[in-house]
Amino acid sequence: MVERAGKQACTRTFAAEQHSNTSFQFEEIQNNSDQLWQLHRSQVIMAFQRRIPVTLNLLLRPLKIAKSCLNQRKEGKQKKKESDARMLARIRKQQQTVRKW
């Protein structure tokens, strides 16, 4: 009977230790998850601080698109002028070589 009582007490002690270990691990995981959650929350806040509010975004988006189109058009015209100038230089060079003959 004494052995049985000793085994039960030992089992209870082991169960209490397991519970305290599990409780400690749970608290540690909870603390880590809280830190991760706070980190992600701060990243989201930082990302939204750089954004323009939706109402202004709706007004400014067409202006950005128009500006982009105009810049591309300017660049296209400039590239065309440059290629035309190179072509004229080649033609003049060819004409000069033909005149020498």
Alpha carbon distance 5, 59 (integer Å): 80
Q: Average pLDDT in the 78-82 region?
A: 84
Residues 70 and 96 in one domain: yes
The residue among 22 and 10 whose pLDDT is bigger is 22
Do 6 and 33 reside in the same domain of the chain? yes
Q: Does residue 63 share a domain with residue 38? A: no
Q: Is 50 helix (H, G, I), strand (E, B) or coil?
A: coil
pLDDT at 2: 46
Are residues 4 and 47 located together in one domain of the fold?
yes
Reported confidence tier of residue 11, pLDDT bands at 50, 70, 90: low
Q: Where are the beta strands (DSSP E) in the chain?
A: none
Are residues 34 and 42 in contact, defined by beta-carbon separation less than 8 angstroms?
no
Mean pLDDT of all residues in 55-70: 85
Quick check: 7 pLDDT over 60?
A: no
- Same domain? For 21 and 58 the reply is no
Radius of gyration of the CA atoms of the chain, in A: 39
**Together in a domain, 12 and 33:** yes
Average pLDDT, the chain: 78
Check whether residue 58 and residue 47 sit in a common domain.
no
CA proximity to 70, closest of 82, 62, 60:
62
Distance CA 44, CA 25 (A): 28
Domains: count for the chain? 2
Domain that holds residue 10: 1-51
Q: Are residues 76 and 95 in the same domain?
A: yes
